[in-house]
Amino acid sequence: MHIFGKIIVVTGAAQGIGRGLCERFAHDGAARVIAADLQAEGAHETALAVGGAGYACDVSKPEAVADLVERVEREHGPIDLFCSNAGVLDVDPDFDNAASASDAAWARSWGVNVMAHVYAARALLPRMIARRQGYFLNTVSAAGLLTQIGSGPYSTTKHAAIGFAEHLAITHRDHGIKVSVLCPQGVQTPMIEGAGELQPALRDGVLTTAQVAQVVVEGLAAERFLILPHAMVGDYIQKKTADYDRWLGGLAKMRRALKAH
């Protein structure tokens, strides 16, 4: 998919990767960029900056996502690309207890990091199937392919997000619908700034949101399922699957070093 002339929705668009995607899509000639975010003011600020439209949307609520899709298609036209980008990171309050995150943290992570992708697909699939075309870009994380030391909810829900995206891509390939997952490591966003001791993702370099957006447009043009701004993640996946026990041992060693630091 090439961006020029497309109607694109980006959730989590008030800041970070979402805003970076909106800026790049507008630069590349999208017909309309729709910025959606839980924070309405932030969504409208991004929309104003890129000449698009802003909407408030709580992506963890199915009715809110369905309403967003309905309003956008009614007011702007058929959605070509839906970027389900919003995400949250809840850390384990006890670094030495993998199950220490609260039920509320697990529920919030599940709602935003997994079910938001499901709700977007649920709202858009009937429309895209009827048109025999459409594209989903789901922002996940390298943590969905590897892991996230210090956060059970983040690591688990990001793995689940990969699983749903695979299911979506397989089920709807013959309907002309494409799917990509964006899986970066460290990016200059408020999420990284608030990550505290979760520093392993920063060891391979921190990218700007503009750098991530560049890799995204290249990945969309090639219609690749895995979009990896940090290319070394592909090597890490191969090492993980080649010797799972060794990989687990290496991450345990990294965790010990992190704790000692």
How far is it, in rounded angstroms, from Cα 179 to Cα 137?
6
CA 88 – CA 161 distance, rounded (Å): 13
Q: Catalytic: 236?
A: no
Catalytic residue among 55, 135, 154, 236: 154
24 φ/ψ sector (left φ>0, alpha ψ -120 to 50, else beta): alpha
Tokens read off for 148: 């996230």
Coil/strand/helix, residue 9 = strand
Q: What are the C-alpha distances in Å from 135 to residues 30, 176, 183, 243?
A: 14, 9, 17, 34
Active-site positions read: 154
